[in-house]
Amino acid sequence: MYRNGFDRLLESFPKRINFDQNLKVSFEETQNLIIDAVSPLPGEDISILDAVGRVLYEDIVSDILIPPVDDSAMDGYAVMAADTRGASEQNPVTLRVAGECRAGDSGAGKQVFHGTTVRIMTGAPIPAGADAVVRFEDAVELSGYVTLFGETASYTNYRRAGENIQKDDIVLPRGDRLKPADIGILASLNRHCVNVYRQPMVSIISTGDELAEPGESLRPGQIRNANACALCAEVKKYNGLPKYLGIAKDSISDMTEMFIRALQADVVISTGGISMGGYDFVKDIYDDLGIEIQYERVRVKPGSSFTFGKKGDTLIFGLPGNPVPALTSFIEFIRPALLRLMGAKRIWKPVVHARLKEDIRSARVHHLVQGYFTIENNEFFVSTTGNQKPSMLRSMSVANCLIMIPEHVEKVKAGENVMIQLIDHDEI
Ligand code: AMP
Ligand code: MG
């Protein structure tokens, strides 16, 4: 089942023609259509101590003022600003210290009159009558009197009630991904618990007769399973709950058994077995299990064999076996879907312009080139990480960005500006 007339487009293509024309969906279409296919998960109450990185299901509305009363921003002396008028080094003003107000005091009964001051600590309520605070550093106290050597304007070192948070403010809107500062705000608002979107459960399957897990003995011809651990790490990084199911052999029965178990999750990710090889059975399994392929064969390099299917609300992603396209497909297609499942408003990585340090040949499809950016004299520069073979996981490990060459661009030369996606930065 294809959307937006893609099914008809698909029919109109001969079975095997030029590589790029055989690819049906553009990179951007794939990204957008996957997001359209996602319905956010329900909410759940959790402790704020567990909530960092989770996405708010509710608007957080303040029912109090913060600070609750006018208080001091500094340790010093609460004064009437008018009393300091005309004060200078040559002509200092002296006030009588009439008391002290500490953080935690209610402030009741404390008052400043003309000619007097109250010693005050940061966070203590401003006594009645005072409208400014002179820092200890700017005053000299001796025998119950304090001498000031300069003028102080009203509201200096003075925090007004509610200047941080007003009553009825929507302090944190639904869809925000909680940062440590947000957790602090929730605590300030006396919220022990918070309603956040449930975390998606993500089944992860590796396929391939050649794979051995880390720690297992390696027969000749075998390689280590790099993808499963890397993808579990990616899912965790975005607050999903990965469930790794193991390696499915390149056999219909083994894969079927594993996909049936996998389908209990919100999301299924498999790697390998999705291309044209003689033992690439993943799409046959989709057919057998009633998984409807929504989009496949994307105009992107690396990772054109990426496939997206659905069964009920479960999202099923078939990734290439090579580690680089497996990870770039995760970043470009699965990561935004996970964030949207978790209700996040901000799901795209920042993209900035950078000056290219070397020539890049186009791939005739949307080209994602592993890059390394630096900032020199306030300008972004980028070079490739070198060899871009899809098996070169090392190159992905070195990369801190993906250089994005749109499909209509033939070649980009050193010195030209390109778009780079900052893959290690938070979504905006
Ligand atoms: P496939 O997509 O199954 O044809 O696999 C493409 C390439 O990726 C082959 O060289 C596989 O050996 C390799 N590969 C497949 N799965 C993994 C994995 N989990 N970890 C590392 N390499 C893999
Ligand atoms: Mg394989």
> What pTM was estimated for this model as a whole?
0.90
- Which amino acid type is present at position 193? C
Amino acid sitting at position 303: G
Q: What is the 3-state secondary structure (H, E, C) of 225-292?
A: CCHHHHHHHHHHHCCCEEEEEEEECCCHHHHHHHHHHHCCCCEEEEECCCCCCCCCCHHHHHHHHCCE
Tell me the mean pLDDT in the region 319-348: 98
The Cα–Cα gap between 1 and 4 comes to: 10
Q: What is the mean pLDDT of residues 77-86?
A: 98
pLDDT at 362: 84
More confident residue, 364 or 132: 132
Task: Report the C-alpha gap between 301 and 407 in whole angstroms.
Answer: 10
Beta carbons of 197 and 38 less than 8 angstroms apart: no
Structure tokens of 79? 């004064």
Instruction: Give pLDDT, residue 323.
Output: 98
What does the block give as tokens for 374? 């630096």
Ligand 2 centroid, distance to 263 Cα (angstroms): 20
For residues 267-278, give the mean pLDDT.
Answer: 95
Max distance between CA atoms of the chain, in angstroms, equals 98
Mean pLDDT of 373-392: 97
Nearest Cα residue to atom 5 of ligand 1: 321
Compute the mean pLDDT over every residue in the chain, rounded to the nearest whole number. Answer: 94
Q: How confident is the model at residue 168 (pLDDT cuts 50, 70, 90)?
A: very high
Tokens standing for 243? 């469930």
The tens digit of pLDDT for each residue in 172-185 reads 999 999 999 999 99
d(CA 10, CA 7): 5
Domain 45-66+164-197 classification at class level: alpha beta
Shortest-distance ligand to the CA of residue 211: 1
Q: What is the dihedral of CA 351, 357, 359, 365, to 10 degrees?
A: -10
**Residues 62-88, mean pLDDT to the nearest whole number:** 98
Which parts of 83-210 are beta strand (E)? 93-101, 116-120, 132-135, 139-142, 145-148, 158-159, 170-172, 193-197, 201-207
Q: What confidence tier does 354 reach under pLDDT thresholds 50, 70, 90?
A: very high
Residue 320 CA: nearest ligand 1 atom is 2
**Ligand 1 atom at shortest distance from the alpha carbon of 228:** 19
Q: Identify the pLDDT of residue 22.
A: 57
* Residue to mutate (ligand 1; options 216, 223, 245, 269; most atoms within 8 A of CB): 223
| Structure tokens given for 108 | 């009741």
Q: How far is the CA of 334 from the centre of ligand 2 (A)?
A: 20
Q: Which residues line ligand 1 (CB under 6 A)?
A: 206, 208, 210-211, 223, 225-228, 271-275, 277, 320-323
Instruction: Write down the pLDDT at residue 410.
Output: 86
Q: What percent of the chain has pLDDT over 70?
A: 95
Could you tell me the fold of the domain covering 71-159? Molybdopterin biosynthesis moeA protein; domain 3 (2.170.190)
Q: Which ligand sits nearest to residue 305's alpha carbon?
A: 1
Q: What's the pLDDT tens digit per position in 108-152?
A: 999 999 999 999 999 999 999 999 999 999 999 999 999 999 999
Q: Where are the domains of the chain?
A: 22-41+199-341, 45-66+164-197, 71-159
Minimal-distance CA residue to ligand 1 atom 16 = 321
CATH number of 22-41+199-341: 3.40.980.10
pLDDT for the residue 195: 98
